Every structure is written in C-alpha cells, then in structure tokens.
Amino acid sequence: MEDSSPRDAGAARWKAAYFSLFAGQSFSKLGTDVVQFALIWHITITTGSGTALALATLAGLLPQILLGPLGGVVADRTNRKLVMAAADGLIALLTLGLAFSFFSGAGALWQIYLIMALRSAAGAFQHPAATAVIPQLVPSKHLARVAGLAQSVNGGIGIVAPILGALCVAALPLGGIMLIDVATAIPAIAIVLALPIPRIETPAVDAEGTRGADVTSGTEGTAKRRGGSFLAGIAEGVAYVKTVKGLGQLVGLALLLNFILTPVGALMPLFVKDHFARGAVALSFAEAFFGGGMIAGGLLLAVWGGFRNRMVTSILGIVLIGVPVAVSGFLPPAAFPVFLGAFGVTAAGMSLANGPIAAIMQSRVERGMLGRVSSLVNTGATAAMPLALLVCGPLSDLVGVAPLYAGAGIVSLAVALVSFLSPGLRELGEPLG
C-alpha cells in the first residue's frame, strides 16, 4: 500500500487540531449554557421580577461591551491559547465559588449578578482569542464550511441546553448544577493547552490607518509588538479596518443587521402570547424550530460551502431572514403553524448569513489583527442589542409586535439589496488567490 501524500497528511493535521479544539469548546459551551439556564430560572422563580431578569441580562452584556476591544488587543499581543485557557479557567473558578456559596446556603442574588458579570468579562478576552485562532488552524478555503458547522452545532446546543437545564433543575441542587460548568471546562482547557498554535505576523498600523512592515511574533502566537498602550492597540484595530477595502462596510452591515433583528428574537415570546394567543408550550415549539433551522442552515453551509463569492452567500442568508420575518408580521392569529415554519427559515438564513461573514473576516484580516477586528465587531453588535431593545420595546407597546416584525423584514431585504449592489462588499467576498 502506498504512503499517504503530504497533502493528505497536512489535511489530517489541521482537521485533527481544529476538530479537537471545536469539540472541547462546544462541550464547554454546552455546560455554560446549562448553567446559564439554571441561573436565569432561579432568578425567575425566586424574584418573579422582570427588572431582576433585565439586570441579569445587563450583567452579561455590559462587560462584553466595555472590555471587548481590550480583549481583542490582548488576543493579538499575547499567547492566544494561554488567553483562552486562562479565561476558561477563571470562568470555571468563579462558577466553582458560586457553587460553594449555594452549597453553604449563603447564595444571594447579588452574588449571581457579580459572577455573571465576571464570567462575561472573562469571555470578552476568550472570544477574540478563540476567533483569531481558527484561521491559524484551518485553510482559508474551508473557513466557510467550518463556520457553517459551528452555526449548526450552536443551534443544536440551543435546543439541548434548555432541556438538560430543565432536567438538572428538577434533579440537582443549584450548587450541583454549577459544577457541570466546571466539569465541561476542564477538557476544553486541556485541549487548548495541548494544541501547537502556529506563530503569527502582526502588522504595524499607524493612527491614520497606514500599514507598515509586519512585526514577527514569537512562538506559540506571542505577538512581540512595538510599545504602545492598550488604547493605542484598540486604535490600531479601528485604523486597520480602513485599510481593507469593503471591511468597514462589512462591519457596518453586521452591526446594522444586529440592531434590526435583535427585537425579532427578544420580542418573540410576546408575539406568541399576544398576537397568536398561545402559551408556554407554543413558545417552546418556536424555540425548537429556531434551533432546528440553525442546524439545517449550518449543515447546508458546511456541506455546500456556499457560492464562490462568500458575500453572495451571506446576502442570500439575509434574504432568507427578511422574507419570513416580513411575512410573519402580516400573519393572522390563526396562522401560528406558518409562523413556526417561517421562524425556522429565519434561523437557517442566520446561519447562512453569519458563517460567510465570519469566514470573510478570518481570511481577509491579517492574523495579527484578527483579535482586535473581531472584538470590535462583537462589541458593536453586543452594544446594538440593548440599544435596539431600548427603541423597539416601547415602540412595541404602542403599535404591537406584528408591525415591528413586518418592518424589520422589509428593512432587512433593503439591506440585502444595497449590499448586493456594493462593489466593495462583493470584492471583499471574492476568494483570495
């Protein structure tokens, strides 16, 4: 039998490295989401307060908004795998501390808020590092496929985690549920530390956005940069976006879509309750259809890979979001089954839209800047969420949820059309080489 070719051996190496990382991170995310479900449910049944739930949401969002850009700089200037391992370890230790608090009977609401905020702060450093590591492991031509796979698995976790969380709430004390997050974090940390993360090249970018000579990093992804504060590092990320044609438009597109579509998900329970006059079981069906749609869209992208121009695939995803959302706004109350199907198509469209955008950034942004650029996008998208709810929450009280759905869908279609007509975005979507 002939030996396998160097190409086969190289493919086997990157697949083994990436899928090991992917499996560990997905397993850890499942544990985190189970714990998050249990904490939210605990707040719900102990307080019965919408304000208490809103504060829990803010505790999870604000650290991401405030620390996200700093996390991107750290991801680009330091050893990325150590950042990931340290952040995961800190989250596990914080959760362990909360578990002991509950076991001792001293658990209080303020402790939950504090731990949620600190876990979110650690995530602000973990997420940019994890995003920046992926193109160091995966060849550019496969980035859209692995992004689709990630979307699909996240959809599956979105279905499974609430079910497991509900079972755990019924069978375990809250302190015991906290230990699940610790247990799932340990293998994820071990895998990250064992991976040979390649070295990176960090481009020098001045305040005006002019790229200079690359600065070679040290081994294992440790970027040895010229001096400068973290604020200067954030400014370099903003300046870098200006140097890549179409990248600024892509960032703006991601933020705009997040602003438009956040109310679609956030107001869905109210839509089901008030417009369709349905209860909790119907709401659970809607969430299941959404998760199933994400799985379907992610699997389609993973198998197909999308169009040659990644931006065209993303625009198709935006159309698949906009049409069913707009249609949902015009449905009569008796058409709830149609809404379920439409909501599933919307979720599939989100997978098709988000996967290529992630792949474009991972392939177009230089590896030494990817942590900063991805954190800026994530920070902006996260900041758009409370702003969108601040606008659309009171508006829904005045006009109802259905008109907001119709408007969000129509605006999404307009954004898709403008994006398709943008030469900068279409050029950005073309594969390199």
Q: Could you identify the residue written with the tokens 């190409």?
A: 7
Residues 268 and 229 in one domain: no
Q: For 116-131, write each residue's pLDDT tens digit.
A: 899 989 988 888 888 8
Residues 105 and 178 in one domain: yes
The packing angle between helices 6-47 and 174-194, to 10°, is 160
In terms of Cα–Cα distance, which of 98, 87, 171 is closest to 124? Answer: 87
Q: From residue 81, how far is each of 128, 130, 134, 358, 377 by CA, in Å?
A: 11, 8, 11, 20, 21
Residues 190 and 213 in one domain: no
Under 8 Å between Cβ of 209 and 242: yes
Residues 11 and 150 in one domain: yes
Q: Could you identify the residue written with the tokens 């990325």?
A: 80
Residues 123 and 150 in one domain: yes
Under 8 Å between Cβ of 197 and 138: no
| Other Cβ atoms within 10 Å of 176 Cβ, number | 14
Confidence of residue 203 (pLDDT cuts 50, 70, 90): low
End residue of a domain, out of 240, 271, 304: 240
Which residue range forms the structural domain that includes residue 208?
199-240
Q: How many domains does the chain have?
A: 3
Residues 305 and 401 in one domain: yes
In terms of Cα–Cα distance, which of 208, 190, 149, 194 is closest to 355? Answer: 149
Query: Which residues 6+ apart lie within 8 Å of 233 measured at CB?
Result: 72, 73, 76, 77, 225, 372
Under 8 Å between Cβ of 220 and 237: no
End residue of a domain, out of 138, 167, 197: 197
Query: Which residues 6+ apart lie within 8 Å of 142 measured at CB?
Result: none
Gap between the terminal Cα atoms of the chain = 35
Residues 186 and 210 in one domain: no
The CA distance from 278 to 345, in Å, is 21
In terms of Cα–Cα distance, which of 274, 278, 313 is closest to 400? Answer: 274
Could you tell me the CATH number of the domain that includes residue 398?
1.20.1250.20
If you average pLDDT over residues 336-357, what whole number do you get? 92
Q: For 212-247, write each residue's pLDDT tens digit.
A: 444 333 333 333 444 456 677 778 777 887 888 888
Q: Does residue 134 have a pLDDT over 80?
A: yes
End residue of a domain, out of 138, 162, 197: 197
- Please state the pTM of the whole predicted model: 0.67
